[in-house]
Structure 1
Amino acid sequence: MQRTTGKGALSMRVRANGQADKTQLHSLWQEGAAKIRLPKSYSSMAEAVLINTSGGLTGGDRLHWQAEAGDRARLCLTTQACEKLYRASAGTAQVTSELKAGENAQLHWLPQETIVYNSSALERSLQVQLAASAVFVGVEAFVLGRVHMGEAVKTAHLHDRWRIYREGQLIHAEELRLAGDIEAIIKGEALLAGNTAFATLLYVGPEDSEQLSARAYAIRQELGLATADKQMQAQTAVCALPNKIIARTLAKDGFTLRQKLLPLIAALRPGLSLPKCWSL
């Protein structure tokens, strides 16, 4: 059967002709089902929209994304819509993303939610290379079937892999694996506790541990979240670790997850509005 393939790559640089901190396109490559669009931005952060023109992913599909924010550049990457994982009759969809940020650059990875359908299969990886003073904000969210559409996910295979490096040193590694009886995973009290939607948010910056802890505390206070010693029982938790802040949230459905994500993303990106596609 015909399968989707595609590759998209872009790099952004700060223009050096007197307009300070004006991030502009340096190079762009796209082929197959992978397309990249650069809507006009009225903020100091450039925006790039990643598009899978096939409309979704199924077994055997292949997509590869690359993006670089050069020194002092500010780039936000998002998707045109939620990515949909359709039933896989054979094989596994594979998506790889490789990101890089230079000195004093800001790179924000804000794809919209991934919607998982019954019997779908996905292997996905995100690799980020950061300079010492770079800032990275990342979000990945999953919705296991659209509850209000009567969709239920009984079986699926999901493997989402993150590797974040600063100056070549690994500072964050994450492996999400959901496979087999998804209904049992959803019901498990130590797993999703009946929820069908969840997300992980990550902030990596040059601040020291004390500054990151203070910022995580401020976020919890601002959003009315549980204190650090009670987060195990909470559906949304924010904590600080060396080099990073991590937030995780659970929700009963995709709509509720979106309502939880918006203030969390805003708290990690103060002074910046959401990408335009998120509000459509």
Structure 2
Amino acid sequence: MEHSLTSVLPAQRVAGMARLVCASTDGRTRLRRLYQDGSAKIRMPAVASDPLEAVLINTAGGLTGGDRLGWEVDVGAGASATITTQACEKIYRAASDRAEVRVKLTVGEHGRIAWLPQETIVFDRSAFARTLDVELAVDAEALLLEATVFGRLAMGERAAHGHFHDRWRVSQEGALVHAEDFRIGPGIAATLGRSAVAGGAIAVATVLMVSPRAAAFLDPARHIIGGQGDAGAWSVKKSGKLLARLFAEDGYQLRKRLVPLVELLNGRAGLPKLWSL
């Protein structure tokens, strides 16, 4: 009696891990170590000056239930790096289990990291969990962004149901300075439709800046965000933080706010090159 291979063999799953270590040498940030395994790849476009720019690539082209990706970036003392992704990460329908992405960022004294991935696009009936762990040394700075679009209205796609979990933990000098857990599901569209949540908007973003200069950007950040979210600023230990939340009716409208906001907060480094393509 013959059996279908699909009924015997488990589905192939994505597994990838990549790690980048950079350090300041002779006044420039330079690559020290690069490790890549599975579907996780890192490429570095040529840049004339700091920050070093790295592009994360998932060669699998998206994630579904059971897939696992890990990214680690270590920025040495006095070094500076901007991290982005080659494209939007797509989270597809999950037949079982959930897709997971784990991110670990470490920044040495007087170092700086800008974590600026392109949007995560969530499809209907998907299941996804992401963790972002950041450890900053004294006088280190970070600009962190995660943007998520629940469905693609232009393609007639809507993420009505699913499970999504985003967990952030940011520490400086060993002390927790920011923590949050964003969970939505199983009724994604119904929850986003509530006026106290997103009022029907399907594109959302969180931007966090940890820097002694953070409070100085509050008013211009609020001007850029307009009525599509808000921002606040606080003192934390010997530094400060600015936290912004944005929402929009679709990914295009969200990016129209994110682009000038990132340009403002990222200073002379501006946007990652791939954002303007």
| Deviation for aligned residue 1:166 | 0.1
Show the counterpart of 2:219.
217
* Matching residue of 2:3: none
Unaligned runs of 5+ in 2: 1-10
Q: In structure 2, how many angstroms separate the alpha carbons of the residues matched to 1:203 and 1:77?
A: 15
- The aligned counterpart of 1:229 is none
**2:174 alignment counterpart:** 168
Aligned AA (1:3): R
Matched with 1:270 is 267
Looking at structure 1, the residues matched to 216 and 143 of structure 2 have their Cα atoms a distance apart, in angstroms, of 17
Say whether residues 1:189 and 2:195 are aligned partners.
yes
**How do 1:223-242 and structure 2 match up within 5 A?**
223=224, 234-242=227-235
Matched, 1:70 2:76: yes
Share of identical aligned residues, percent?
44
Paired with 1:72 and 1:213, the residues of 2 have a C-alpha distance of 22
Q: CA RMSD in A?
A: 1.2
* 1:144 alignment partner, one of 140, 150, 171: 150
Of 83, 87, 91, 1:85 maps to 91
Aligned-pair distance for 1:203? Answer: 0.2
Q: Match of 1:250?
A: 247
Q: Which shows bigger deviation, 263-272 or 250-259?
A: 263-272
**Across the two proteins, how many residue pairs are aligned to each other?**
263
Q: 2:131 aligns with which of 125, 131, 143?
A: 125
8 Å Cα contact 2:217/2:265 also seen in 1: no
Q: CA deviation at 1:218?
A: 3.9
Q: Distance in 2 between the 1:30 and 1:261 partners? A: 30
Cα offsets for 1:64-109 (capped at 9, x unmatched): 1111100000001110000000000011001100000001101110
Question: What corresponds to 2:162 in structure 1?
Answer: 156
Matched position secondary structure for 1:28: strand
- Report the Cα distance in structure 2 between the residues aligned to 1:212 and 1:71, rounded to whole angstroms: 20
Superposed CA deviations along residues 243-264 of structure 1, whole A, max 9, x for unmatched, are 2001111100011011110011
Distance in 2 (CA, whole Å) between partners of 1:212 and 1:94 is 31
Contact 2:65-2:126 within 8 A present in 1 as well:
yes
Alignment partners' CA distance in 2, 1:128 and 1:241: 18
Q: 1:44 aligns with which of 42, 45, 50?
A: 50
Give SS of 2:186's match: strand
Please give the residue correspondences for 1:196-215 in structure 2 after superposition, counting only pairs within 5 Å: 196-205=202-211, 207=212, 212-215=214-217
The aligned residue for residue 6 of structure 2 is none
Structure 2: distance between partners of 1:42 and 1:88: 42
Please name the residue that 1:113 is paired with.
119
Counterpart of 1:230 in structure 2 is none
Q: CA deviation at 1:46?
A: 0.3
Shift of 1:183: 1.8
Kept in 1: contact 2:129–2:166 (CA 8 A) = yes
Q: Which amino acid aligns with 1:14?
A: S
- Quickly say closer, same or farther: Cα 1:277–1:218, change in 2 above 3 A: closer
Using the size of structure 1 for normalisation, the TM-score is 0.91
Contact 2:169 2:179 in 1 (8 A): yes
